[in-house]
């Protein structure tokens, strides 16, 4: 088979499939090459995010949060339930069902938009030729006037802790256990470690997170990170900082982990080990040398701020290029690339990128941290409000955490919002919008917030930046 297209997208994750849909909306003849084979041994769109990332992890986080809530907190609300139990296979099957529906939805959207899904592995050659190798080994060749590379990322593996089917796993493996392990070691107290550690801790596993760095969540505002560390400890997540894993050995159906901290070397045996030490850009087998596309020293495809590679007409987006490895970042880049190809003014505002850790409470932030502003010499002011003073949080019985917002004193603009608390992921959106509109603290102060809502905490934090919060005693504005 062969053919030519205005745009060929290689990779059908949240960066690639969104790029393909936007390109088709703009009237471009579009194909998307995707090789993913899912748990049911079927080809699937949606990439890491839909198949083994954002969606399945959130399905398990939502279910286990409700379970833990019913088990641990319902009695406090005056709700009497019998013994609360968990049916793990059913929970996993529900998660798989959500994944199937959503990935099936993407193929329906491809059909509706007239996008051709080329199933198999794409390899970019000279002159924007893409060879697609199907599962049965057959090859076909296509030409694109424009190419968008969206081949994503894969988990980083540690040589010293090789994966071992069901006992030493990466994030994908930890989404599929059908019974609750007695004990789990997680290498890396990063986002995946905390989210998946929370899932299994809520189900009853003993969870130890070994983190090589001395700082906990170094990318998060320090006050929020401190609050998070305190809360996770209370939940029973045993986070050991400054602990570098040296190796692991699977013995008798369990795994012995060796790690080193300031006190020396330790050896502990666990039922399972999750390796969650980051992800690397994935270009294996996707680029021939004739394509001429340059990579940087970390293996990421080198692009400018418009996601253009060094070869005219070839773009790269998502996890395979610089910037945070986030689904929404990749999708926005996909839209930008498609719009630039169609002659429009695509743009991504990298300064206003929301980040969320979907633990309970959630941790969410946008813009600069106080530490970053300090080091940049910006004259800033902080406004803060604890959920303990929020009527709605009290009504929910969920009062942990705080909102911290930061303004640039020279122009009153909101330059950072940092939240730890109930529904932080949803609350963050208003700060993201305010920053996108170049909003000021005064704008938030003048915005009427419904009562009683959690969003009033943002309003109060803004008021507090002006030294006039209503529901807390105001500290001297700083
Ligand atoms: P991917 O989603 O990795 O997709 C790349 C696709 O390209 C894959 O489907 C792959 O099969 C295909 N491909 C690669 N090479 C070829 C080739 N040569 N030919 C054909 N096809 C190819 N991000 C968030 O924003 N929010 C979250 O809550 C979140 N949770 C996560 C939870 C977990 C457990 C993990 C692992 C990740 C999570 N992420 C989350 C990160 C998010 O999944 C990624 O940032 C996102 O999927 C990147 O999108 P992408 O399209 O660039 O790459
Ligand atoms: P991460 O970079 O967040 O965390 C990895 C951690 O492992 C780091 O803290 C690192 O210091 C530690 N580490 C590395 N080597 C170690 C060793 N030998 N011993 C002990 N600790 C070690 O990476 P991740 O948690 O694997 O997540 C990967 C990517 O996926 C992230 O970039 C993230 O953006 C994305 N993701 C996002 C979400 C979300 O948006 N909610 C959820 C999951 C994943």
Rounded percentage of the chain residues whose pLDDT exceeds 90:
98
Residue of 360, 451, 459, 471 marked catalytic = 451
Terminal alpha carbon distance of the chain: 67
In a domain, 477, yes or no: no
Q: What's residue 474's pLDDT?
A: 83
Express each pLDDT in 335-380 by its tens digit. Answer: 999 999 999 999 999 999 999 999 999 999 999 999 999 999 999 9
Say yes or no: 176 and 135 in one domain.
no
Count, residues in the chain: 478
Q: What is the rounded average pLDDT of the residues 459-471?
A: 96
User: Is the pLDDT assigned to residue 51 strictly greater than 80?
Assistant: yes
Domain shared by 23 and 151, yes or no:
yes
Q: How many angstroms does the Cα of residue 301 sit away from the middle of ligand 1?
A: 15
For the CA of 149, the nearest ligand: 1
Of 84, 105, 85, nearest to 17 by C-alpha is: 105
Specify the residue with its C-alpha closest to ligand 2, atom 24. 278
Tokens 């596993």 locate to 205
**Domain final position from 277, 303, 332:** 277
* 458: containing domain: 355-465
pLDDT above 70: residue 20: yes
- Residue 440 carries which DSSP code? B
The Cβ-side half-sphere exposure at 106, using a 13 Å CA radius, reads 27
User: How many angstroms does the Cα of residue 344 sit away from the middle of ligand 2?
Assistant: 35
Q: Which domain CATH number covers 114?
A: 3.50.50.60
Percent of the chain with pLDDT over 70: 99
For range 140-157, the mean pLDDT: 98
Does some domain include residue 346?
Answer: no
Q: Where is the domain boundary, 221, 242, 277?
A: 277
Same domain? 141 vs 75: yes
Is residue 124 within 8 A of residue 293, CB to CB? The reply is yes
- The answer to whether 361 and 401 are in contact (CB under 8 A) is yes
**Into how many domains does the chain fold?**
3
User: Long-range contacts made by residues 399-404, C-beta under 8 angstroms, separation at least 24?
Assistant: 400/227, 400/231, 400/361, 401/227, 401/231, 401/361, 402/223, 402/224, 402/227, 402/457, 403/427, 403/457, 403/458, 403/460, 403/461, 404/221, 404/223, 404/224, 404/370, 404/461
Q: What is the DSSP string of 414-432?
A: EEEEEEEETTHHHHHHHHH
Same domain (yes/no): 113, 100: yes
Expressed in angstroms and rounded, the spacing between residue 339 Cα and the centre of ligand 2 is 32
Rounded Cα distance, 446 and 444, in Å: 5
On whether residue 348 sits in a domain, the answer given is no
Can you tell me the mean pLDDT for 303-320? 98
263 has pLDDT over 90: yes
Helix 88-112 to helix 54-72 angle (10° resolution) is 140
User: Do 191 and 357 meet the contact criterion of CB atoms below 8 Å apart?
Assistant: yes
| Whether residue 57 has its Cβ less than 6 Å from ligand 1 | yes
Q: Is residue 471 part of a domain?
A: no
Residues 195 and 298 reside in one and the same domain: no
pLDDT attached to residue 260:
98
Shared domain check, 385 and 458? yes
Higher pLDDT, 476 or 12: 12
Kindly state whether residue 474 falls inside one of the protein's structural domains: no
Q: Is the pLDDT of residue 478 over 90?
A: no
Residue nearest to atom 8 of ligand 1 (CA): 47
Query: Which residues have C-beta atoms less than 6 Å from ligand 2?
Result: 158, 187-193, 195, 210-213, 244-245, 276-279, 324-326, 356-358
For the question of residue 451 being annotated catalytic, the response is yes
SS3 397: coil
Distances (CA, A) of 95 to 66, 100, 242: 14, 9, 34
252 Cα–ligand 1 center, Å: 34
pLDDT of res. 476: 58
Q: Which of 229, 258, 277 is the last residue of a domain?
A: 277
| 87 and 173, same domain (yes or no) | no
Rg, the chain, Cα only: 24
Answer yes or no: is pLDDT of 165 > 90. Answer: no
Looking at the domain assignment, is residue 163 inside a domain?
no
Q: Above 60 in pLDDT, residue 477?
A: no
Write out the DSSP string of 12-55. -STTHHHHHHHHHHTT--EEEEE--B-TTS-B--SHHHHHHSHH
Dump pLDDT digits (tens) for 211-258.
Answer: 999 999 999 999 999 999 999 999 999 999 999 999 999 999 999 999
Domain match, 143 and 221 both: no
197 shares a domain with 111: no
Question: Is residue 335 assigned to a domain?
Answer: yes
φ, ψ of residue 73 to 5 degrees: the values are -120, -15
Mean pLDDT of 433-448: 98
Question: What is the per-residue pLDDT across 384-439, written as a single tens digit (0 to 9) for each?
Answer: 999 999 999 999 999 999 999 999 999 999 999 999 999 999 999 999 999 999 99
**In this structure, what CATH number is given to the domain that contains residue 375?**
3.30.390.30
Confirm whether 226 is domain-assigned. Answer: yes
Per-residue pLDDT averaged across 431-448, rounded? 98
**pLDDT averaged over the chain?**
97
Which of 427, 386, 423 has its CA nearest to residue 403? 386
Are residues 441 and 300 located together in one domain of the fold? no
- Supply the pLDDT for residue 2: 80
> 3-class SS at 228?
helix
147 and 213 assigned to the same domain = no
Helices (H) and strands (E) in the chain, counts: 12, 22
Does 176 lie in the same domain as 90? Answer: no
């Amino acid at each position: 088979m062969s053919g030519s297209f205005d745009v060929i997208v290689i990779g059908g994750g949240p960066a690639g499939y969104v790029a393909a849909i936007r390109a088709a909306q703009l009237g471009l003849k579009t194909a998307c090459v995707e090789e993913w084979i899912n748990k049911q041994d079927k080809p699937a769109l949606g990439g890491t995010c839909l198949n083994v990332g954002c969606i399945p992890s959130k399905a398990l986080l939502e279910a286990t949060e409700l379970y833990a809530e019913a088990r641990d907190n319902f009695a406090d609300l005056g709700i009497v339930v019998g013994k609360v139990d968990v049916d793990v296979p059913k929970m996993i099957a529900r998660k798989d069902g959500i994944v199937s529906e959503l990935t099936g939805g993407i193929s329906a959207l491809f059909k509706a938009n007239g996008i051709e899904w080329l199933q198999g592995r794409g390899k970019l050659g000279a002159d924007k030729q893409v060879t697609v190798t199907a599962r049965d080994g057959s090859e076909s060749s296509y030409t694109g006037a424009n190419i968008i590379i969206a081949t994503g990322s894969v988990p980083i593996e540690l040589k010293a802790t090789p994966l071992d089917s069901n006992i030493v796993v990466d994030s994908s493996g930890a989404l599929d256990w059908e019974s609750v392990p007695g004990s789990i070691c997680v290498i890396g107290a990063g986002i995946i470690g905390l989210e998946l550690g929370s899932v299994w801790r809520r189900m009853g596993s003993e969870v130890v997170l070994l983190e090589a760095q001395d700082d906990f969540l170094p990318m998060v505002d320090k006050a929020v990170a401190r609050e998070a560390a305190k809360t996770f400890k209370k939940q029973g997540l045993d986070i050991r900082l400054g602990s570098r894993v040296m190796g692991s050995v699977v013995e008798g159906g369990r795994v012995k982990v060796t790690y080193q901290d300031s006190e020396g070397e330790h050896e502990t045996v666990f039922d399972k080990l999750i390796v969650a030490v980051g992800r690397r850009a994935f270009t294996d087998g996707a680029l021939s040398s004739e394509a001429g596309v340059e990579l940087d020293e970390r293996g990421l495809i080198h692009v400018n701020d418009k996601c253009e590679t060094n070869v005219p007409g070839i773009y790269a987006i998502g996890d395979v290029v610089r910037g945070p490895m986030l689904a929404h970042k990749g999708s926005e880049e996909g839209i930008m690339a498609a719009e630039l190809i169609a002659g429009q003014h695509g743009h991504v505002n990298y300064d206003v990128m929301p980040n969320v850790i979907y633990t309970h409470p959630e941790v969410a932030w946008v813009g600069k941290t106080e530490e970053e502003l300090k080091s940049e010499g910006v004259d800033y002011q902080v406004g803060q409000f604890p959920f303990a003073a929020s009527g709605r949080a009290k009504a929910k019985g969920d009062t942990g955490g705080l909102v911290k917002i930061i303004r640039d004193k020279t122009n009153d603009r909101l330059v950072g919002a940092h939240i730890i608390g109930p529904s932080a992921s949803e609350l963050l959106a208003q700060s993201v919008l305010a920053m996108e509109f170049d909003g000021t603290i005064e704008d938030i102060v003048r915005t009427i917030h419904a009562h009683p809502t959690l969003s009033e905490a943002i309003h109060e934090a803004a008021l507090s930046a002006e030294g006039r919060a209503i529901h807390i005693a105001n500290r001297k504005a700083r």
